[in-house]
Amino acid sequence: MEANETNLNVKLAQLQLTGKRTAVIISSGKQEAIERHCQTLKTISSEINLIRISVEAEKISNKVEIEDIVEWNEGVETKLAEADEEVEKIGKWLADCKKKAEEEAQEEELRFQEKLYQTKLKYETELQAVKSELPQHEHVESSSVANLGAKLPKLVITKFNGTYMDWPRFWGQFIKTIDKSSVAAVNKFAYLRELLDAKIRNTIEALPFTAEGYNRAKSILQEKYGKETEIVKAYCKEIL
């Protein structure tokens, strides 16, 4: 019994020492360290409870007075209760931290949605500006422009579907109708992006919405489809 009581006293001292470090660890703000500290308190408390039960059984076996056992148990329970309070403090800190993180995530989502809305609004405004600036015979019809109420133009440019066979048709129409017009480069860029199939548009989506971005987008498309189209034509001539 003495060995178990000695072990119990060591564990109680360890529990008390660990509990005194709670405030310092919480003040560090390091979530992993705080969670680890909480788990340590729980582990030591569980070990103490198991040893307490064993010592209690030995005391009963040795016919120790019940009143003495009750008083001894109360001393152990008091120290365990102190540890439980420390665990509760940590739990509250972790809950507050989680709530704060959720609130920040919600605010970030709201900011993102607002930015997305403003970008979409700006994009639609620029498309409308292009529609109003282009001469009547140079109006281009696409799904978005049609939604803005565009009239049917004399020359309708259908979206580029991404095939090399369709490239010469699309690029020729685009250069003649849009690229050579007098509207701003950013407006031409808006039309170009609108006239590309979604999977093709992804290749230039990240480019800045500027004149430089427009020129870079043309270069990328010409590099990918223009040169490949010439290679295909040359190959076809060779095998015929």
Q: Are residues 99 and 44 in the same domain?
A: yes
pLDDT band at 150 (very low <50, low <70, confident <90, very high): very low
The DSSP bridge partners found for residue 196 are 160
200 in any annotated domain: yes
Share of the chain above pLDDT 70, in %: 83
**Per-residue pLDDT at 45:** 95
Identify whether residues 142 and 100 lie together within a single domain.
Answer: no
Are residues 100 and 13 part of one domain? yes
How many domains are contained in the chain? 2
pLDDT at 210 over 80: yes
126 vs 109: CA distance, rounded Å: 26
Mean pLDDT rounded to a whole number for the chain: 82
Please indicate, yes or no, whether residues 159 and 104 belong to a single structural domain of this protein: no
**Segment among 1-10, 19-28, 116-125, 142-151 with least mean pLDDT:** 142-151
Q: For residue 124, is it within any domain?
A: no
Does 122 map to a domain? no
The reply to whether 210 and 156 lie within a common domain is yes
The reply to whether 103 and 142 lie within a common domain is no
Half-sphere exposure of 53 (CA within 13 A, CB side): 5
Query: Residue 18: which residues within 8 A CB-CB, separation 6 or more?
Result: 37, 40, 41, 44, 83
Cα-based distances in Å from 11 to 5, 15, 86, 121: 10, 6, 16, 66
- Round the CA-based radius of gyration of the chain to a whole number and report it: 37
Looking at the fold, whether 138 and 221 belong to one and the same domain comes out as yes
User: pLDDT value at position 140?
Assistant: 45
Task: Assess whether 140 and 82 both reside in one domain.
Answer: no
Give the closest residue to 221 by CA, choosing from 155, 139, 144, 160: 160
CA distances from 101 to 27, 74, 112, 148, 212 (A): 18, 40, 16, 41, 39
Q: Which range of residues forms the domain containing residue 177?
A: 134-239
DSSP codes joined into one string, 120-145: HHHHHHHHHHHHHHS-GGG----HHH
Token digits of residue 223: 């590099």
If one compares 115 and 46, the residue with the highest pLDDT of the two is 46
Residue in this structure with the two tokens 């189209």, named with its chain if needed: 229
What pLDDT does 122 receive?
78
Residue 37 binned pLDDT confidence (cut-offs 50, 70, 90): very high
In a domain, residue 228? The reply is yes
Q: Is the pLDDT of residue 53 over 90?
A: yes
Residues 6 or more apart from 10 whose CB is under 8 A from it?
none
In a domain, 214, yes or no: yes
91 and 143, same domain (yes or no): no
120 in any annotated domain: no
How much is the average pLDDT of 211-234? 78
The whole-number pLDDT of residue 224 equals 87
Q: Which of 21-30, 37-46, 159-168 has the lowest mean pLDDT?
A: 159-168
| 224 burial via Cβ count (<10 Å: 0-12, 13-18, 19+) | middle
Mean pLDDT of 177-201: 89
Q: Residue 53 maps to which CATH number?
A: 1.20.58
Same domain, 107 and 138: no
Q: What is the mean pLDDT of residues 130-159?
A: 53
As a whole number of angstroms, the distance between CA 22 and CA 19 comes to 5
Distances (CA, A) of 69 to 57, 63, 116: 10, 10, 69
Q: Are residues 9 and 60 in the same domain?
A: yes
Domain final residue pick, 61, 77, 111: 111
Residues 223 and 168 in one domain: yes
Considering the domain boundaries, does residue 167 fall inside one?
Answer: yes
Q: How confident is the model at residue 238 (pLDDT cuts 50, 70, 90)?
A: very low
Over residues 83-108, mean pLDDT: 89
Confidence of residue 217 (pLDDT cuts 50, 70, 90): very high
Lowest mean pLDDT among 67-81, 82-96, 97-111: 97-111
Q: Give the global pTM.
A: 0.47
**Tell me, what's the pLDDT at 130?**
66
And the tokens for 55?
């010592």
The Cα 240–Cα 223 span in angstroms is 26
Among the candidates 49, 78, 111, a domain finishes at 111
Residue 22 has pLDDT above 80, yes or no: yes
- Of 111, 126, 154, which marks where a domain is finished? 111
Q: Is residue 31 part of a domain?
A: yes
